[in-house]
Amino acid sequence: MNRTIRLTLVAAAMTAFLIGMVFDHAARRASGTEVILDLEPVDPRDLLAGYYVIVSTPLHLLETDSLGGDDSFATGDDIFALVEEDGEGVWQAVSIHRERPEAGVFLHGKVQHGSETMIRADYNLERFYADEETAQALELRRRENIDSMRLIVSVGPDGRAIIRGLEIDGQRRTVPLF
């Protein structure tokens, strides 16, 4: 096989892999269970990735005393936060587990650090990318009234979560993938 054919095959395989990643992401966003979380953003900027808002939800800092399930986690452990919708349409953790729950909606994350009473976990929901104007407006809004903003998330059956958009003052603002 000559060099041109090999390069063409490698390029085609890499392109197919990237297209597969995009379609996987799109399918997870479209078919996952929609979960809405309270939001606490701050606005940094990444010179390579652009503007984004760092988000923190109640799922990121879990009080183990108020949750059912397992109670001992170490840094780097998998964590499964079982969530349920409250009366206002916001989802909250009701228990935390080391193993995947058999029923219910749960988010799969990693323990970043913790103590006997608090766990800091990441779920791949920590950055909401936006253009400069939107990121600055979100930060300004956060300073004024954080209670009016929520994070819209799509959660797949494996617990992987993907950001779909924001809810601001009750209005949904989903971000199109394409």
pLDDT of residue 11: 93
pLDDT of residue 35: 86
Q: Is the pLDDT of residue 178 over 80?
A: no
Determine, yes or no, domain membership for 20. Answer: no
pLDDT of residue 49: 54
pLDDT of residue 96: 92
Determine, yes or no, domain membership for 11. Answer: no
Q: Is the dihedral of CA 155, 62, 66, 70 positive or negative?
A: positive
Determine, yes or no, domain membership for 160. Answer: yes
pLDDT of residue 148: 74
| Residue ranges making up the domain that contains 157 | 32-174
Tell me: the pLDDT tens digits for 140-160?
A: 776 676 667 888 999 999 999
pLDDT interval class at 82 (50, 70, 90) = very high
Dig out the tokens for 107 from the structure: 């988010």
Determine, yes or no, domain membership for 106. Answer: yes
pLDDT of residue 111: 92
Dig out the tokens for 94 from the structure: 């009701």
Tell me: the pLDDT tens digits for 22-81?
A: 988 888 888 888 888 776 655 455 555 566 777 788 888 888 888 888 777 888 899 999
CA dihedral 94, 95, 100, 105 (to 10 degrees): 0
C-beta of residue 33 within 8 angstroms of C-beta of residue 106: no
Q: Is the pLDDT of residue 83 over 90?
A: yes
- The domain tally of the chain equals 1
Determine, yes or no, domain membership for 16. Answer: no
Q: Is the pLDDT of residue 2 over 80?
A: yes
Q: Is the pLDDT of residue 175 over 80?
A: no
Determine, yes or no, domain membership for 26. Answer: no
Global confidence as pTM: 0.74
Determine, yes or no, domain membership for 17. Answer: no
Determine, yes or no, domain membership for 75. Answer: yes
Tell me: the pLDDT tens digits for 86-127?
A: 888 889 999 999 899 998 999 999 999 877 788 999 998 888
